[in-house]
Copies of this chain bind each other. A is one copy, B any other.
Amino acid sequence: MKIAALSAASGLSLPTLKFYLREGLLHPGQSTAVNQAEYDQGHLRRLRLIRALSELGGLGLADIRRVLAAVDDEDRPLHDTFGVAQDAMAARPHAPSPAARAATDRFIHRHGLRVRPEAEVRALLAESVDALHDFALCGPAHDHDAVAAALDPLLPETLAAADRALASVPAAAPRGEQLLVTVVGTIAWEAALLALRRLALEHASALRAAPPRAG
């Protein structure tokens, strides 16, 4: 497969492919001459991964590069790599309030969750706790801990779902395959759950606005 074929197969413009090659997001093809190279299914898979991270996950190219680097590092243990990928996926200019951050950390500790102290996801959760608190979305006159506590009833089912998700990854599959399933699975399922939730909200809102006539 030459670059034009890769472009056609991936749906990405030829200049974009060259750009990704330059940036190191896509590894060079197998050289057949000084100015000719051959691309394969691996390149196509890589491109689908990049697009999924970009479009579905909303990641910038810099963060995508970090995810790819972690995925490519064969010596890295699986869990470790997943952590790096998670951090890259959460990378944003976070600025949760110290109070929200502390409440979040207490929430994690209280439930005995094994989450790295430096994991970005802590800031991610703290940010939303801040918003729920600031807009009094968990009822009025609550502190950050009370807001975090509102998440308590959701945790068991969320933990069970996460465990099921990881259990569905075939343990015998090669490392790259397992990572792809966990990393892309994370963002694809997230996107699906979000969309489902919004669907449900629109439906519920429609019902309230104009209830179906009984009978």
Nearest CB of B to A130, in Å: 9
Q: Inside 8 A of A7's CB, which chain B residues have their CB?
A: none
**Chain B residues with CB below 8 A from A134, complex form:** 48, 52
Q: Which of A172-215 contact B (CB under 8 A)?
A: 180-182, 184-210
Which single residue of chain B is at the shortest CB-CB distance from A147? B192
A58 close to B (CB within 8 Å): yes
Which size class do A's interface residues fall under? 35 or more
Interface residues of A in 74-91 (CB under 8 A from B): 77-80, 82-83, 86, 89-90
26 contacting pairs across A/B (C-beta < 8 A): A48-B135, A55-B93, A77-B209, A79-B208, A82-B201, A86-B201, A86-B202, A113-B203, A115-B202, A115-B206, A121-B202, A125-B195, A128-B188, A128-B189, A128-B191, A137-B181, A154-B193, A154-B196, A158-B197, A159-B200, A162-B200, A162-B201, A163-B207, A166-B205, A166-B208, A186-B201
